[in-house]
Amino acid sequence: MSQFQVIGGNKLSGSITPQGAKNETLQILAAVLLTKEKVTISNIPDILDVNMLIELLGLLGVKIEKLNTDTYIFQADDVNVDFLTSDEFHAKSGKLRGSVMLAGPMLGRYKRAFVPKPGGDKIGRRRLDTHIIGFQKLGANFSYNENGYYQLEADELKGTYMLLDEPSVTGTANIVMAAALASGTTTIYNAACEPYLQQLCSMINRMGGKISGIGSNLLVIEGVETLAGTEHRILPDMIEVGSFIGLAAMTQSSITIENCGIQHLGIIPEKFRQLGIDFYTEGDNIIVCEQDVYEIQSFMDGGVLTIYDNPWPGFTPDLLSIILVVATQAKGSLLVHQKMFESRLFFTDKLIDMGAQIILCDPHRAAVVGLGRQHRLKGITMSSPDIRAGVALLIAALSAQGKSIIQNIDQIDRGYQYIDKRLQALGADIQRIS
């Protein structure tokens, strides 16, 4: 299996453009199943998870035409619903989290769905109750197979009121897609409302759907009988934008991040500012300034800054690993509180081996004592446990003294397109080796 070899310490410079957003693409690809007409999607990232979902759509019988590197036309006019019961579907869909969202449109359109135990990051328990209970409220019956998958069937889906147990991102997407083709009105309270869900709802409206409340946690969906084709462009990946801000700060570099989709970044830029990172915007670009040292702010009462995750518009859990690694070289202290996932902070072991001062208080909280660059991190051999920790370790390696080897880089390739080549273009010394 491939690894990255990184020689740290190079100052980086130049421009980098975020890819299309992984987690939006997974929702939008599932939504092509809502119509028998053509759906054209652009700015699709060339990454493992997305390519696996496209392969699954093809195996389901969706016609796929690739217009250029990032634009595809999909047409789900002859879907093979029986493929859902095949061993191949169970094996392949179990490799990524996003496959779980095939269930909503399949249930909406064909009244049948299978939800295999999804893959994705092993970052703690990732239950599917919100999805299944939502489908049940719309009128679906489910059985749980001992092999770990849910089988769902409905005679008819009927709109209703539901208060979600938690604002699950993929759960809300799934229920919205099923409700879009249900009869009557569905009201979802405590809905997730991140930009990617807003994009999904807007796309469904362009297909002839009737969704209001987009961007809030109260969605009202008037079901329609059929949906039509449309065109859709994926937003820039906000997690990549945050990762590149962190990369510039850690490597004491000035980098321009182009076409960031700044209006969709919510609170993300502010959290990096709280770490003392200096940057400004020019149009839709973010220019991170070169800084020898950045200093973590305190709360107004002088208390130690805490950065924690929350459902949107709170701070995304997917950037906490980056925040943590960036704090290791800042001046000052930070408490990172990862509330949603219980195994996402264990990668701090590797940062400690590199010389960072981190106290893992419990599985959810890590206290970082910033070194203020008094000592550099040192390169080591490490394995990437999940997608975001993987990139956090890569950033640490790029700022460290000496050589690092990062193993298990499939985890990084799952979500970051051609990352080695794009970092080389900024001047990074990174090689893919086998």
Q: Which residue has the tokens 């080549």?
A: 421
d(CA 287, CA 258) in angstroms, rounded, equals 8
* Using rule CB under 6 A, residue 23 touches ligand PEP: yes
Least Cβ distance, residue 324 to ligand PEP (angstroms): 14
Beta carbon of residue 246, minimum distance to ligand UD1 (angstroms, whole number): 17
Closer residue to ligand UD1 in complex, CB, 198/256: 198
Residue among 150, 225, 123, 152 at smallest CA distance from 182: 225
Smaller CB distance to ligand PEP: residue 97 or 422? Answer: 97
Q: Which residue has the tokens 């693409």?
A: 25
318 or 413: CB nearest ligand PEP:
318
CA triple 361-377-373, angle to 5 deg: 90
Please give the Cα distance from 358 to 113 (Å, whole number): 45
Report the C-alpha gap between 315 and 304 in whole angstroms: 18
Q: H helices within 111-149, ranges in order?
A: 129-137
**Out of ligand PEP, ligand UD1, none, which partner does residue 387 contact, by CB within 5 to 8 A per kind?**
ligand PEP
Q: Which residues pair with 358 in a beta bridge?
A: 368
For ligand UD1, the binding residues (CB under 6 A) are 23, 26, 97-98, 125-127, 166-171, 311, 316-318, 340-341
The least CB distance from residue 98 to ligand UD1, in Å, is 5
State which residue, 121 or 420, has the beta carbon closest to ligand PEP: 121
Q: Using CB atoms within 10 Å of the CB of residue 56, give its burial: 0 to 12 exposed, 13 to 18 middle, 19+ buried.
A: buried
Helices 387-399 and 238-250: crossing angle, nearest 10°?
A: 20
Give the residue, chosen from 152, 204, 415, 423, that forms a contact with ligand PEP under the rule CB under 6 A. Answer: 415
Instruction: Report DSSP state, residue 183.
Output: B
**Can 155 be counted among the known catalytic residues?**
no
167 binds ligand PEP (CB under 6 A): no
Binding positions for ligand PEP, 308-327, rule CB under 6 A: 318
339 is in an annotated binding site: no
Q: Which helix (H) or strand (E) holds 127?
A: none
Tokens of 252: 């004491």
Catalytic residue among 46, 77, 87, 121: 121
Distance linking the first and last C-alpha atoms of the chain = 6
Contact map string, positions 374 to 403, toward ligand PEP, x by CB under 6 A: -------------xx---------------
Q: Is 97 annotated as a binding residue?
A: yes
Query: What is the binding site for ligand PEP (CB under 6 A)?
Result: 22-23, 49, 97, 120-121, 318, 387-388, 415
Residues with catalytic function? 121
* Binding site, annotated residues for UDP-N-acetyl-alpha-D-glucosamine: 97, 318, 340
